[in-house]
Amino acid sequence: MIPVVMPTYSRIDIVFERGEGAHIWDTTGRRFLDFTAGIAVNALGHAHPYLVEKLTEQAGKLWHTSNLFRVAGQEQLAKRLCDLTFADTMFFTNSGVEAFECAVKTVRKYQHDIGHPEKTRFIVVGGAFHGRSTTAIAAAKSEKMVGGFGPLLDAFDQVPFGNMNELRAAITPQTAAIVVEPILGEGGIVVGSDEYLKALRDTADEFGLLLVFDEIQTGVGRTGKMFAHEWAGVTPDVMPIAKGIGGGFPVGACLVSEKAAKGMVPGTHGSTFGGNPLAMAVANAVLDVITAPGFLEQVTVTGDKLKAELEALVAKYPTILAEARGKGLMLGLKCVKPNGEVVTRLRENGLLTVPAAENVIRILPPLTIGDAEIAEAVSIIDKTCQELAQ
């Protein structure tokens, strides 16, 4: 008999009932150290007191009005994100994949409205993940997501991540934009070099293309900058974000320059729930914390410390771990053993992590972790590697 919840997930048989900071407790009372952060969503950990205060305050006033009206908090959040980035405007969504869909529409409408309706195709890279809508899986072209869902939108020309020669060779008169994650997350925590990101910007400008950086996972402080592309000193034209901006509340946004937003006029796009008052209250609160003086610098310091500890474990257990990689607190451990086996054993020992491609496990703790949580995590990984080495 089919489960009452559609069986599209291979769920682990644990139900969590409460969380606090980097720790989370299941219904049996067992405590885990959560280095998944809801897959980079709970940027400030579980039940952050300030987020709880702001959400509760808004919940007692107004939940939803639709986008028929101006929405409390939207313009404030949009102004703050514009001031922090290249963007001049944005569209609020409920999720990352909706922000990605908005990016695709924005690009096509821009090219159409400047007199290039033939430019409808996108250069994308292998190993990327943009979500699970039919458009997003057509862009990623991962066999495990695409199988059985065709025919998909034929608009994406895929090239290897980091390879500018193949990317330039794939550009045709129909190409509208280049779409890249600055760091592949699902793809195995593969960091795009500063030179690569700069070359993407230069190439987009050379061929009259828009540049889209998908910062759904890498954004909102995860790498130690507000957005990962800032490390390279370049900016995109369009940028879908989500995950960390809501700190656990469903919210996303598509950030766009005034030039690229040329075609997005009344009637071209919409959302029933996107950017509702609850989401805006939480996202503004997340920004209050992340933009506080010294917060992002501390993420870099903490990330460097954790990465150094992971590198020491790689050196200590070469038959279990092959490499520590990543930036800020978006880290990965490439495994020698099957990553699923390592993730399972870590969980049994009390540490939650996320598997990714290339036999990598993602290490995505809350941005607020301190030395005690790092020491606890390293101790669990050390113990787990000892067990796996026997």
Query: Could you tell me which residues come within 8 angstroms of residue 179 by beta carbon, excluding any fewer than 6 positions away?
Result: 103, 122, 123, 124, 125, 128, 130, 139, 212, 214
Q: Is residue 48 classed as helix, strand or coil in its secondary structure?
A: coil
Q: 279 — alpha (psi -120 to 50), left (phi > 0) or beta? A: alpha
Q: How far apart are CA 102 and CA 253, in angstroms?
A: 9
Q: Is the dihedral of CA 180, 229, 240, 173 positive or negative?
A: negative
Nearest to residue 42, comparing CAs of 205, 246, 193? Answer: 246
Binding site residues for pyridoxal 5'-phosphate, as ranges? 129, 214-217, 272
Q: How far apart are CA 66 and CA 99, in angstroms?
A: 18
**Number of helices (H) and strands (E), helices first, in the chain?**
12, 17
Amino acid (one-letter) located at 380: I
Q: How far apart are CA 328 and CA 330, in angstroms?
A: 6
Q: Residue 7 half-sphere exposure, CB side, CA atoms within 13 Å?
A: 4
What is the phi/psi pair of residue 269, to 5°? -160, 160
CA–CA distances in Å: residue 278 to residues 63, 70, 71, 147, 201: 6, 14, 10, 37, 36
- Cis peptide leading into residue 151 (ω within 30°): yes
Nearest to residue 131, comparing CAs of 147, 121, 142, 119? Answer: 142
Question: In sequence order, which ranges of the chain are alpha helices (DSSP H)?
Answer: 37-40, 49-59, 74-84, 96-113, 134-140, 143-146, 164-170, 194-207, 277-290, 295-316, 339-348, 371-389
Binding site residues for N(2)-acetyl-L-ornithine, as ranges? 132, 271
Structure-block tokens of residue 146 = 């695409």
Binding site residues, as ranges? 129, 132, 214-217, 271-272
Query: Could you tell me which residues come within 8 angstroms of residue 126 by beta carbon, excluding any fewer than 6 positions away?
Result: 141, 158, 159, 160, 161, 187
